[in-house]
């Protein structure tokens, strides 16, 4: 009797375990094949070096890392550091501006009364995705052209010299980046604002809180998860972005994304490209580690 009981129960457990394994197997397979293997090969590749004709020579050395730190034939130059710092700044500013724009936008959409009008607004927010990023970015070239009304208005106020376009330059890059990444920030924020418990801001108001305090203590803690999701899916791709900078930034405006792309295409230096990619990954992970331990994150993190 007792033996039967145990056998059947262990049989059940076995069955359920194989079932679970079967369920996660496809996902696990994809992760291993498309994430772990490429990462490992990047590490190996970064240790190899470029051959004379752009081929890969498997002589293991730390030459690429030395180069990354700025040492080359002519001594030490910190070019790559500057490019990395600039990419970090670019991604940071894009993310912050997207957060500032997304809060009012999401509140506005969430406060629409009928489900239809909310749906229409969400469609308007996501409809640019239907167009290819490259084409969308080229469209900005047209809009920032000397003949476009936007540029003419800017020229009228003396923001740009008459008859010159508003690109290439930092302004055009930021504009392109922010318009590209705004939906990535607004959609997760919207989903958490839609479920907001409005009694908390009201309670804060009832307890004499200023608008800043209401946001900090009653709205931010409730939307922190949407904010996290938004920051991750905005900051990471923004760090690696090269299309927008390529089209709107001009030749002098180089980010790490452009550099990596160059190594793999024009320069045909795959090992150094791999090294730069690893550097980018480490930098991104490091930024998140810093963010997780920051004050805003701790205040939000203790909620749930």
Partner 1 sequence: MARNILNFVESKAGGVLVPSLGADPTLAPNVNSEGLYINGISKTFDRKRGKVLDKITMHVPKDSFFALLGPSGCGKSTLLRIIAGLEYPDEGEIYLDGKDISKLPAQLRPVNTVFQSFALFPHLTVFENIAFGLRAQGTFNTSSYKIGLIVESLQLSGLEEVYPDQLSGGQQQRVALARALVNEPKVLLLDEPMSHLDDYLKCKVGQDLRDLQERLGTIFIMVTHDREDAMAISNQMAIINKGKIIQHDKPRSIFSKPNCTFVAEFMGKANIFEAKRTDDRSKAFLPFCQVGFQEDIFWDTAWVLINPDTISIQDPIESTSLEGDSPLGTVKATIVQVRYKGYNVELLCKLPNLSPGNQGHSLLQVLTTDHAREWKQGETLSLQIDAKEMVILGEPSSHASGLDKAQAMGSLLI
Contact region for partner 1 (CB under 8 A) — 100-108, 137-145, 182-190, 208-216?
Answer: 208-216
Q: How far is the CB of 209 from partner 1 (least distance, A)?
A: 4
Q: Are 58 and 141 in contact (CB under 8 A)?
A: no
Length of the chain: 304
Q: Does 206 bind partner 1 (CB under 8 A)?
A: yes
Cβ burial 67-92 (10 Å sphere, 16+ → b, else e): bbeeeeeeeeeeebeebbebbbebbe
Contact region for partner 1 (CB under 8 A) — 82-90, 199-207, 248-256, 277-285?
Answer: 199-207
Euclidean distance between CA atoms 167 and 145, whole angstroms: 8
- Partner residues linked to 56 by β-bridges: 50
Question: Which stretches of 243-303 are assigned E, i.e. beta strand?
Answer: none
Number of chain positions touching partner 1 (CB under 8 A): 21
- Residues near 138 by Cβ (< 8 Å), separated by ≥ 6? 247
Nearer to partner 1, 69 or 200 (CB): 200
Of 173, 177, 204, 260, the residue at the interface with partner 1 (CB under 8 A) is 204
Q: Does 203 bind partner 1 (CB under 8 A)?
A: yes
Give the C-alpha distances (Å, rounded to integers) separating 89 from 92, 119, 148.
Answer: 5, 34, 29
Q: Does 117 bind partner 1 (CB under 8 A)?
A: no
Binding mask 219-238 for partner 1 (x = CB under 8 A): --x-----------------
Q: How far is the CB of 197 from partner 1 (least distance, A)?
A: 7
Binding mask 248-267 for partner 1 (x = CB under 8 A): --------------------
Identify the sign of the CA torsion 229, 233, 236, 239: negative
- Partner residues linked to 57 by β-bridges: 49
Nearer to partner 1, 56 or 200 (CB): 200
Of 218, 241, 260, 280, the residue at the interface with partner 1 (CB under 8 A) is 218
Closest to 91 in 3D by CA, of 233, 261, 238: 238
**Interface with partner 1 (CB under 8 A):** 197, 199-200, 202-210, 213, 217-218, 221, 299-300, 302-304
């Amino acid at each position: 009797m007792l033996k039967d009981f145990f056998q059947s129960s262990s049989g059940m457990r076995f069955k359920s375990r194989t079932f679970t394994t079967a369920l996660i197997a496809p996902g696990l397979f994809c992760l291993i094949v498309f994430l772990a293997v490429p990462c490992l090969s990047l590490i190996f590749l970064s240790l190899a070096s470029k051959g004379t004709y752009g081929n890969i020579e498997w002589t293991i050395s730390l030459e690429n890392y030395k180069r990354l730190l700025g040492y080359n034939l002519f001594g030490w130059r910190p070019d790559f550091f500057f490019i990395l710092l600039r990419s970090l700044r670019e991604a940071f500013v894009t993310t912050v501006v997207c957060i500032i724009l997304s809060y009012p936008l999401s509140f506005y959409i969430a406060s629409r009364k009928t489900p239809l009008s909310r749906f229409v607004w969400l469609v308007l927010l996501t409809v640019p995705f239907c167009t290819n990023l490259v084409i969308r970015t080229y469209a900005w070239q047209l809009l920032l052209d000397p003949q476009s009304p936007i540029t003419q208005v800017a020229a009228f106020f003396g923001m740009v010299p008459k008859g010159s376009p508003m690109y290439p330059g930092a302004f055009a890059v930021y504009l392109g980046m922010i318009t590209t990444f705004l939906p990535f920030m607004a959609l997760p924020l919207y989903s958490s604002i839609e479920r907001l418990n409005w009694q908390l801001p009201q309670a804060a108001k009832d307890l004499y809180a200023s608008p800043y305090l209401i946001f900090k203590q009653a709205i931010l803690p409730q939307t922190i998860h949407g904010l996290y999701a938004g920051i991750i899916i905005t900051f990471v791709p923004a760090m690696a972005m090269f299309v927008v900078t390529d089209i709107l930034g001009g030749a002098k405006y180089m980010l790490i994304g452009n550099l990596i792309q160059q190594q793999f295409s024009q320069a045909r230096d795959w090992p150094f490209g791999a090294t730069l990619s690893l550097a980018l990954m480490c930098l991104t992970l490091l930024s998140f580690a810093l963010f997780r331990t920051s004050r805003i994150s701790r205040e939000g993190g203790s909620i749930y």
